Amino acid sequence: MILNKEPHHLVAPSILSADFSRLGEEVRNVESAGADRLHIDVMDGHFVPNLTIGAPVVKSLKKISTLPLDVHLMVSKPENILSSFISAGADSITIHLESTNYPEKVLKRIRQEKVLAGLTLKPATPVERMFPFLPFLDLVLVMTVEPGFGGQSLLPDQVSNISAVKEELVRQGLNNVPVHVDGGVNLQTLPLLPSADVLVAGHFIFTHKSYKEAISLLKSGSVS
């Protein structure tokens, strides 16, 4: 295995796969290991069939980490809880298009609060539905698994959404909007994700013997 010399991706460890009994230590460890940001999955048990953390945890993490906090709201009607996550210190907030009847309004509100706005879709939703909202975004999140649980295998049929979004961003003159990819990211799937700007990885990093090695491998990519 030969590593590229220059970093190719940014890496955002997903704390969904961290040991929650020592979450502060886990966050410090991935930060010192070279993480670029911290991905925080918020689930309400309604929009997705799982329940995770809320704004108080984000507020606590803000106190112990210098990493940007990238909050992914997998919740119904995110507009109802935006304020709590903005106040808690979220640096970016990504919502699901399917989760609200007012996506443009919600995205504009996020940006008005000087927080980066992101949008994502469930795998079954055609990626083209996102295109009208690209001008209101600071990042795009492509889900390559069904949202709601960590440790899933990447869905190969979702990989084409990455290039589709990239091409549309270029077409609209939004070349600087980064594309994040979340779901089943590991060394086996990495060759499928060359155009991703940010890799969200939980299971691969937090089960690896060395967080530093895991993050380095994802950043640099590999060839046989």
Catalytic residue numbers, as ranges: 41, 182
Cβ–Cβ < 8 Å for 75, 49 = no
Beta strand extents in the chain (DSSP E only): 2-3, 10-13, 38-43, 69-74, 92-96, 116-120, 139-143, 179-182, 198-201, 222-223
Q: How far apart are CA 49 and CA 93, in angstroms?
A: 20
Q: How far apart are CA 93 and CA 113, in angstroms?
A: 11
DSSP 14: B
Q: How far apart are CA 95 and CA 76, in angstroms?
A: 9
